[in-house]
Chains A and B, each alone.
Chain A
Amino acid sequence: MILPLRLEAVSFLDVIKPLSLELAAGPSTIILGANGAGKSVLMRLMHGLLPPSAGTITWSSNGRQAMVFQRPVMLRRSALDNVIYALRVAGVAAAERPAMDALKEVGLAELAHRPARVLSGGEQQRLALARAWALHPEVLFLDEPTASLDPSAAREIENIIRAFDAAGTKIVMATHNLGQARRLADEVIYLHQGRVLERTPVAEFFSKPATAEAAAFIKGELPWA
């Protein structure tokens, strides 16, 4: 197991103020916060795409983790080859079968041989999830995966995220969509101006938020302090 993930006194420029956090296997963690709160940066720090300005980030062991971005980048090749590429980079030699299985899982089997870049936004995001699915990651980071999708495409993405959860992958997702947080979260980390203001089970977060900022965010008021 690569979890728990420990962040100790981690900061990044002045976007993330020094914070300590531990993420354990199991519950789906949703990072909530307004635009500019530092959600994306925090996820990138955890995933290893950004080096922290200070502090340490430690995984318990080596293992697979994957990330799905708001706007997935598709390589100029077929949908199937995009998944195969991810598997090859991860060192899987016989990649074709698992790649096809992953496409089936997200409902893209019929489009396997289409060029990935001509797929619709929702299909591309499902393909990004297939690319992650094929790797069987222990942790999946999702950065606002439905922010640029219509509601029905967003629902499909949420269903796939649930399937990851059911398969034992730890979900860590950033969103500013409260409904989505309610539907998918077990626990909420509320981020405000680079600080973790709250970390609570989802029901508690919505029923009795502990801070005025979180309460205002839930009510839909942008908490400009």
Chain B
Amino acid sequence: MKDIFLDLRLWEIVALSLQVSLSAVVLATALGLPLGAAVAVGRFPGRHALIVLLNALMGLPPVVVGLVVYLLLSRAGPLGELGLLFTPAAMVVAQTVLITPIIAALTRQAIEDAWREYEEQLRSLGASRMSAALTLVWDTRFSLLTAVLAGLGRASAEVGAVMIVGGNIDGVTRVMTTTIALETSKGDLPLALGLGVVLIAMVLVINAAAMVIKEAAQRRYG
């Protein structure tokens, strides 16, 4: 069991997992943060329906996302020309679709709470809605970090979407979760367990870091 951590293969799989999930988080943050902030501060028709939709999409089943992205990227699909299917890029796309609603919904919640507190003051100072939204993003930055990390946790732990669009190809699209699924069914438990330990340790470290940062910020900035 100890030797498994000396296996280069394992660390290559870990590296690819991180590369895919971190890329997805960066993209989903770029999309979800402004979306969540706009929904929190904006007033437009259909806003409530959009909030319900975002909240509901937080629970998107990864296999369904995988299926939809598969259909989009498959050779006969609308984006088939790009030739992305069964590449890490396809996995990034699928995970981005999966976690953008999570980041957007959690951002919307954090910023709407802050808006309730700040609205009169910011309007009194003469801030436009746009500049108020940016102010709120900055002032809730430590809560938003939690939203982003929730997205990262979801992305790195899901197996269904990356399995379908990545194809679990050895050395190309094989990540931690798909390896665990495959190796377990093959009966190669040491590699599966080793990856499981790494995955859980990662999630623990990420969440501990988020908590430490948030509490330190709370003490420092009130």
Q: Which residues in A have some Cβ–Cβ distance to B below 8 Å?
A: 44, 47, 49, 66-67, 69, 72-77, 85-86, 89-90, 115-118, 131
Contacts and interface: CB of A to CB of B under 8 A. Distances in A.
Contacts, number: 45
B222 A47 contact: no
Interface string B114-151: 00011011111111000100010011000000000000
Nearest to A74: B222
A90 B221 contact: no
B118 A73 contact: yes
Contacts of B139: 75-77
B220 interface: yes
Interface in B77-129: 117-118, 120-127
Contacts of A77: 139, 221
B186 to A, nearest CB: 52
Nearest to B123: A49
A89 B132 CA distance: 10
Given A49-B120, A90-B126, 19 more contacts: A49-B123, A66-B125, A69-B121, A69-B124, A72-B121, A73-B120, A73-B121, A74-B222, A75-B118, A85-B125, A89-B125, A89-B126, A89-B131, A90-B125, A115-B220, A115-B222, A116-B222, A118-B222, A131-B125
Nearest to A143: B120
Closest 10 CB pairs of A and B: A117-B222, A73-B121, A118-B222, A76-B139, A115-B221, A67-B124, A76-B221, A89-B125, A89-B127, A86-B125
Interface string B46-88: 0000000000000000000000000000000000000000000
Contacts of B124: 47, 49, 66-67, 69
A73 to B, nearest CB: 4
Contacts of B220: 115
A65 B133 CA distance: 22
Contacts of A47: 124
Contacts of A90: 125-126
Nearest to A115: B221
Central interface residue in B117, B123, B135, B221, by most chain A CB within 10 Å: B221
A85 B122 CA distance: 10
A117 B221 contact: yes
Contacts of A74: 222
Nearest to A47: B124
B91 to A, nearest CB: 36
Nearest to B222: A117
A73 B127 contact: no
Contacts of B122: 73
A27 to B, nearest CB: 23
A5 to B, nearest CB: 16
A108 to B, nearest CB: 16
Contacts of B135: 75, 85
Contacts of A131: 125
A86 B127 CA distance: 9
B222 A76 contact: yes
A69 to B, nearest CB: 7
Contacts of B117: 73
A66 B221 CA distance: 25
Contacts of A76: 138-139, 221-222
24 contacts: A44-B120, A49-B120, A49-B123, A66-B124, A66-B125, A67-B124, A69-B120, A69-B124, A73-B117, A73-B122, A74-B222, A75-B118, A75-B135, A76-B138, A76-B139, A76-B221, A76-B222, A77-B221, A85-B135, A89-B125, A89-B126, A89-B127, A90-B126, A115-B220
A89 B126 CA distance: 7
Contacts of B126: 89-90
